[in-house]
């Protein structure tokens, strides 16, 4: 069965919200701080977000999740290059689904002595969470659809789309 892409959040709407979000960040968590972007999904969002912030450092980390029947196991496959200890960090992800990856990354950064960790996600999926963590900054709430575009993929496809879409059967 072929699947059709349906736009959920258009390009201009994302552009406006990212600017607004940067304003919210600047007023409640003013730079300087280090943005840590979770690869690969957050790379597009991060690049737009940081161009609306001044006085930040940018680094990346990558997680791998093994999702079985039980609670998923998460591991780091790429550590940030900058030392985490003593840094103020804004952790950026594409989508907050069960929340397990973000929770893992926050814990990892705190264990390594980060002075402060705030979290920012473009999308927050309306599903039951596996954590009590709430992202500090959220771009959009989305229904429980599998979404792609603006960095998010389905088997490595669709990351380059300038909008967020879902797949309809």
Catalytic residue among 97, 124, 136, 144: 97
With CB under 5 to 8 Å by kind, the binding choice for 100 among Mg ion, ligand IMP, none is ligand IMP
User: According to the binding rule CB under 5 A, does residue 80 interact with Mg ion?
Assistant: no
Report, in Å, the least distance between residue 65 CB and Mg ion: 9
Q: Write out the DSSP string of 39-106.
A: ETTTHHHHHHHHTT-SSEEEEEEEEEEE--SSSPEEEEEE--SS--TT-EEEEEEEEESSSHHHHHHH
User: According to the binding rule CB under 5 A, does residue 135 interact with Mg ion?
Assistant: no
CA-based max dimension of the chain: 52
For Mg ion, the binding residues in 7-66 under the rule CB under 5 A are 41
User: According to the binding rule CB under 6 A, does residue 100 interact with ligand IMP?
Assistant: yes
Sheet architecture: strand order including 137-142: 73-78, 56-66, 33-39, 88-96, 116-125, 137-142
User: According to the binding rule CB under 6 A, does residue 79 interact with ligand IMP?
Assistant: no
Active site residue 136: no
Q: List residues binding ligand IMP (CB under 6 A).
A: 41, 93-102, 146-148, 152
Catalytic residues: 97
């Amino acid at each position: 069965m072929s699947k059709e892409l349906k736009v959920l959040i258009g390009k201009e709407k994302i552009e406006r919200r990212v600017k607004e979000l940067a304003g919210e960040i600047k007023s409640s968590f003013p730079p300087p701080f280090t943005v840590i972007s979770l690869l690969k999904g957050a790379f597009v969002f991060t690049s737009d977000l940081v161009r609306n912030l001044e006085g930040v450092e940018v680094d990346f980390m990558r997680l791998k999740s093994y999702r079985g029947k039980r609670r998923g196991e998460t591991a780091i496959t790429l550590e940030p290059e900058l030392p985490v200890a003593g840094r103020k960090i804004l952790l950026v992800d594409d989508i907050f689904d069960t929340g397990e990856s973000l929770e893992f990354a926050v814990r990892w950064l705190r264990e390594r002595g980060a002075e402060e960790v705030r979290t920012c996600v473009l999308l927050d999926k309306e599903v039951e969470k596996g954590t009590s963590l709430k992202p500090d900054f959220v771009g959009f709430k989305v229904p429980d659809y599998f979404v792609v575009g603006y960095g998010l993929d389905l088997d490595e496809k669709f990351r380059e789309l300038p909008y967020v879409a879902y797949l309809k059967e």
